[in-house]
Structure 1
Amino acid sequence: MSARRNPPAGNQGAEDQRASGSTTTVPRASVIAYCRAYAARGCFGRYWVLVIDTCPYCRRTHRHGGGDQLRPTYGHRSAHCGSTGPHRGYWLEPVTEEAA
């Protein structure tokens, strides 16, 4: 099983977040972070955790919420590392297996 790796973002995606960062106000950016989804259970019920193994900005692991629906909710998220700008973010996409 091979997974896609997140390439370093460099100066790309400076404009990828506007206003509150909702999917209606953020245009699709070139910075994509591939993540895995895990179901978790807490005091408020079941929810999804989206894990990025390699952040495109800082190369570390980040975790984001994926909602409490039947399937995880992907989309735009702000980077947790706060690298070089307050409005730095990326689009979450599920990891896909590549054919060997």
Structure 2
Amino acid sequence: MAEVMVGVETAYYQRGEALAFDVARHHAMTGYAGDALGWLRISFNRHEPYLIAIGFDPAFRPTREEPGFDELLAELGLPPGSQDRGVRAMVRGPVR
């Protein structure tokens, strides 16, 4: 099912009806971490608002091991390993 959604989201993106972030998320969920990172780069270049979620969205767990993921976090102003603190911050407030 997730692999079908990659195609669906890609078609929506090509028509301007989806974000690159959405395509990246579906690639990550299907285990195509390298492709997901490529789409996250497109999302970054387009200044898409949901990109900040990569630090804590569980769908991107496979992508966090990819070379370049920590670099992308840094470019977003997020520290490496922010995925561990991000969920706690969402639940309990800012990390101290």
- The answer, yes or no, to whether TM exceeds 0.5 is no
- Bigger Cα Rg: 1
TM-score by length of 1: 0.28
Q: Which has the higher strand share?
A: 1
Structure with the higher helix share, 1 or 2: 2
TM-score normalised per structure 2: 0.29
- Higher relative contact order, structure no. (Cα contacts within 8 Å, ≥ 6 residues apart): 1
